[in-house]
Structure 1
Amino acid sequence: MLHPSYSELMQEVNKDVHNGETPIVQSRYSIVLGTAKRARQLIAAGKTQMNGEEKKPLSIAVEELRTGGFKILSEESENYENYEDEPLA
Protein backbone atom coordinates (compact mmCIF):
# COMPACT_ATOMS: atom_id res chain seq x y z
CA MET A 1 0.00 0.00 0.00
CA LEU A 2 1.67 3.19 -1.14
CA HIS A 3 -1.07 5.77 -0.88
CA PRO A 4 -2.37 6.74 1.56
CA SER A 5 0.57 6.03 3.81
CA TYR A 6 0.27 4.43 7.22
CA SER A 7 1.14 7.73 8.86
CA GLU A 8 -1.67 9.51 6.97
CA LEU A 9 -4.15 6.84 8.04
CA MET A 10 -2.94 7.02 11.65
CA GLN A 11 -3.40 10.80 11.62
CA GLU A 12 -6.94 10.41 10.28
CA VAL A 13 -7.90 7.86 12.93
CA ASN A 14 -6.35 9.92 15.74
CA LYS A 15 -7.61 13.33 14.59
CA ASP A 16 -10.20 13.57 17.40
CA VAL A 17 -7.71 12.71 20.17
CA HIS A 18 -6.88 15.67 22.37
CA ASN A 19 -3.47 16.50 23.85
CA GLY A 20 -2.57 14.21 26.71
CA GLU A 21 -4.96 11.44 25.64
CA THR A 22 -3.72 8.09 24.42
CA PRO A 23 -4.01 7.81 20.62
CA ILE A 24 -6.55 5.28 19.36
CA VAL A 25 -4.04 3.85 16.89
CA GLN A 26 -0.42 3.62 17.93
CA SER A 27 0.93 1.16 15.37
CA ARG A 28 0.65 -0.01 11.79
CA TYR A 29 -0.72 -3.29 13.11
CA SER A 30 -3.87 -1.53 14.33
CA ILE A 31 -4.42 -0.02 10.87
CA VAL A 32 -3.92 -3.41 9.21
CA LEU A 33 -6.25 -5.16 11.66
CA GLY A 34 -8.99 -2.52 11.36
CA THR A 35 -8.96 -2.43 7.56
CA ALA A 36 -8.85 -6.25 7.36
CA LYS A 37 -11.95 -6.50 9.57
CA ARG A 38 -13.76 -3.95 7.42
CA ALA A 39 -12.70 -5.77 4.24
CA ARG A 40 -14.18 -9.01 5.63
CA GLN A 41 -17.44 -7.14 6.32
CA LEU A 42 -17.50 -5.90 2.73
CA ILE A 43 -16.86 -9.41 1.39
CA ALA A 44 -19.67 -10.84 3.54
CA ALA A 45 -22.03 -8.14 2.24
CA GLY A 46 -20.93 -8.69 -1.37
CA LYS A 47 -19.83 -5.07 -1.76
CA THR A 48 -16.93 -4.88 -4.17
CA GLN A 49 -17.79 -1.71 -6.07
CA MET A 50 -16.84 1.86 -5.28
CA ASN A 51 -17.90 4.78 -7.46
CA GLY A 52 -19.12 2.34 -10.10
CA GLU A 53 -15.77 0.55 -10.35
CA GLU A 54 -14.94 -2.98 -9.29
CA LYS A 55 -12.41 -2.71 -6.45
CA LYS A 56 -10.73 -5.10 -4.07
CA PRO A 57 -12.40 -5.10 -0.64
CA LEU A 58 -9.17 -4.06 1.09
CA SER A 59 -8.79 -1.07 -1.23
CA ILE A 60 -12.36 -0.03 -0.43
CA ALA A 61 -11.70 -0.42 3.31
CA VAL A 62 -8.53 1.71 3.16
CA GLU A 63 -10.36 4.43 1.23
CA GLU A 64 -13.25 4.34 3.71
CA LEU A 65 -10.82 4.70 6.60
CA ARG A 66 -9.07 7.60 4.89
CA THR A 67 -12.34 9.45 4.27
CA GLY A 68 -13.91 8.68 7.65
CA GLY A 69 -16.33 6.06 6.31
CA PHE A 70 -15.65 3.88 9.33
CA LYS A 71 -13.73 4.29 12.56
CA ILE A 72 -11.32 2.11 14.43
CA LEU A 73 -12.33 2.16 18.08
CA SER A 74 -10.00 1.82 21.03
CA GLU A 75 -10.48 -1.09 23.39
CA GLU A 76 -11.50 1.38 26.09
CA SER A 77 -14.37 2.71 23.94
CA GLU A 78 -17.92 1.93 25.10
CA ASN A 79 -18.77 0.81 21.54
CA TYR A 80 -15.76 -1.49 21.14
CA GLU A 81 -17.75 -4.68 21.71
CA ASN A 82 -20.25 -3.66 19.01
CA TYR A 83 -17.58 -2.92 16.39
CA GLU A 84 -18.34 -5.93 14.21
CA ASP A 85 -22.10 -5.54 14.66
CA GLU A 86 -22.23 -2.03 13.17
CA PRO A 87 -24.39 -1.80 10.06
CA LEU A 88 -22.59 -1.52 6.75
CA ALA A 89 -22.81 1.78 4.92
Structure 2
Amino acid sequence: MLHPSYSDLMKVVNADVEEGDTKIVNSRYSIVLATSKRARQLIDGEMPLVNTVEGEKPLSIAIDELNKGKIKIIAEEETEEE
Protein backbone atom coordinates (compact mmCIF):
# COMPACT_ATOMS: atom_id res chain seq x y z
CA MET A 1 0.00 0.00 0.00
CA LEU A 2 1.18 3.47 -0.87
CA HIS A 3 1.88 5.80 2.05
CA PRO A 4 0.82 8.56 1.86
CA SER A 5 -2.33 7.71 -0.06
CA TYR A 6 -3.14 9.11 -3.50
CA SER A 7 -5.81 11.34 -2.00
CA ASP A 8 -3.31 12.76 0.52
CA LEU A 9 -0.83 13.47 -2.28
CA MET A 10 -3.53 15.18 -4.34
CA LYS A 11 -4.36 17.41 -1.36
CA VAL A 12 -0.69 18.40 -1.02
CA VAL A 13 -0.35 19.19 -4.73
CA ASN A 14 -3.61 21.16 -4.84
CA ALA A 15 -3.03 22.98 -1.54
CA ASP A 16 -2.06 26.28 -3.22
CA VAL A 17 -5.05 26.29 -5.58
CA GLU A 18 -7.63 28.87 -4.59
CA GLU A 19 -11.25 27.82 -4.26
CA GLY A 20 -12.98 27.96 -7.61
CA ASP A 21 -9.77 27.58 -9.64
CA THR A 22 -8.99 24.47 -11.63
CA LYS A 23 -7.09 21.88 -9.61
CA ILE A 24 -3.61 20.92 -10.78
CA VAL A 25 -4.22 17.23 -10.14
CA ASN A 26 -7.60 15.56 -10.55
CA SER A 27 -6.63 11.90 -10.74
CA ARG A 28 -4.28 9.23 -9.53
CA TYR A 29 -2.88 9.05 -13.05
CA SER A 30 -1.35 12.54 -12.68
CA ILE A 31 0.32 11.52 -9.43
CA VAL A 32 1.69 8.34 -11.03
CA LEU A 33 3.08 10.27 -14.02
CA ALA A 34 4.71 12.94 -11.87
CA THR A 35 6.34 10.53 -9.44
CA SER A 36 7.50 8.19 -12.20
CA LYS A 37 9.13 11.08 -14.10
CA ARG A 38 10.87 12.22 -10.93
CA ALA A 39 11.98 8.66 -10.15
CA ARG A 40 13.51 8.47 -13.64
CA GLN A 41 15.42 11.70 -12.96
CA LEU A 42 16.74 10.21 -9.72
CA ILE A 43 17.80 7.03 -11.53
CA ASP A 44 19.60 9.19 -14.10
CA GLY A 45 21.69 10.82 -11.35
CA GLU A 46 19.73 13.79 -9.99
CA MET A 47 20.22 14.40 -6.29
CA PRO A 48 17.27 13.72 -3.96
CA LEU A 49 15.65 16.79 -2.40
CA VAL A 50 14.84 14.95 0.85
CA ASN A 51 16.85 12.85 3.27
CA THR A 52 17.04 9.26 2.13
CA VAL A 53 17.78 5.91 3.71
CA GLU A 54 20.35 3.50 2.27
CA GLY A 55 18.61 1.29 -0.27
CA GLU A 56 15.49 3.44 -0.60
CA LYS A 57 13.99 3.09 -4.06
CA PRO A 58 13.74 6.07 -6.43
CA LEU A 59 9.94 5.93 -6.56
CA SER A 60 9.72 6.07 -2.76
CA ILE A 61 12.03 9.08 -2.77
CA ALA A 62 9.93 10.79 -5.46
CA ILE A 63 6.73 10.20 -3.49
CA ASP A 64 8.38 11.61 -0.36
CA GLU A 65 9.57 14.69 -2.28
CA LEU A 66 6.07 15.31 -3.63
CA ASN A 67 4.48 14.82 -0.21
CA LYS A 68 6.90 17.29 1.41
CA GLY A 69 6.34 19.88 -1.31
CA LYS A 70 9.90 19.71 -2.62
CA ILE A 71 8.68 19.16 -6.18
CA LYS A 72 5.67 20.65 -7.89
CA ILE A 73 3.45 19.40 -10.68
CA ILE A 74 2.97 22.00 -13.38
CA ALA A 75 -0.25 21.90 -15.37
CA GLU A 76 0.21 21.16 -19.08
CA GLU A 77 -1.27 24.50 -20.12
CA GLU A 78 1.49 26.31 -18.23
CA THR A 79 4.28 24.31 -19.89
CA GLU A 80 2.82 24.91 -23.37
CA GLU A 81 2.67 28.68 -22.80
CA GLU A 82 6.33 28.86 -21.78
The alignment's TM-score, normalised by the length of structure 2, stands at: 0.85
| Structure 1: distance between partners of 2:37 and 2:22 | 22
Question: Runs of 4 or more off by more than 2 Å in structure 1?
Answer: 46-54
| Structure 2: distance between partners of 1:30 and 1:52 | 26
Compute the RMSD of aligned alpha carbons: 2.0
Give the unaligned 5+ runs of structure 2: none
Q: Work out the number of aligned pairs and report it.
A: 79
Return the structure number with greater strand share.
1
Sequence identity (%): 59
Q: CA deviation at 1:69?
A: 1.1
Q: CA deviation at 1:46?
A: 6.1
Within-5 A mapping of 1:19-34? 19-34=19-34
Give the structure, 1 or 2, with the largest relative contact order (CA under 8 Å, sep 6 or more).
2
The alignment's TM-score, normalised by the length of structure 1, stands at: 0.79
Q: CA deviation at 1:2?
A: 2.5
Residues 55 and 22 of structure 1, relative CA distance in 2, 3 Å threshold = same
- Residue by residue, what CA displacement relative to the aligned partner does 1:11-46 show, whole Å, maximum 9, x if unpaired? 000000001111000000000000000000000016
